[in-house]
């Protein structure tokens, strides 16, 4: 459509897929997804010792830190800039910490 090519087969297929998606989602969808949920929340930066505890599978220390302040979204915290600001879940996955990953997913 950028080049006014609205009669191409690709354009027609894209329109059909869009129509099917709209039928599945519904006409009243407001465009908000679960990804929009954290837009107004500040990102929590975890201390380096917590990032290291995640990597080593020290679940007790991590859960103690997360539960110490439930008003902050610590289950979705990121590491410091020196540690590449990686999300907590990413650290757990990269270090093959399946139990830690499961806990973090349950916490949010």
Alpha helices in the chain (DSSP H): 9-25, 48-56, 59-68, 88-94, 98-107
Residues 62, 53: contact at Cβ < 8 Å? yes
Is 90 exceeded by the pLDDT of residue 8?
no
Q: Which of 51, 67, 63, 65 is nearest to 99 (CA)?
A: 63
List the structure tokens of 28. Answer: 């009243």
The pLDDT score that the predictor gives to residue 21 is 82
List the structure tokens of 11. Answer: 């354009």
More confident residue, 103 or 18: 103
The pLDDT score that the predictor gives to residue 31 is 65
CA torsion through residues 79, 80, 84, 85, sign: positive
């Amino acid at each position: 459509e950028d080049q006014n090519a609205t009669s191409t087969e690709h354009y027609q297929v894209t329109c059909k897929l869009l129509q099917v998606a709209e039928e599945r989602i519904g006409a009243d969808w407001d465009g908000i997804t679960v990804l929009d949920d954290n837009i107004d929340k500040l990102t929590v930066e975890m201390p380096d010792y917590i990032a290291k505890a995640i990597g080593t599978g020290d679940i007790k220390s991590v859960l103690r830190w997360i539960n110490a302040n439930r008003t902050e979204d610590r289950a979705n915290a990121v590491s410091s800039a020196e540690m590449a600001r990686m999300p907590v879940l990413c650290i757990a996955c990269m270090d093959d910490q399946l139990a830690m990953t499961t806990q973090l997913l349950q916490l949010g």
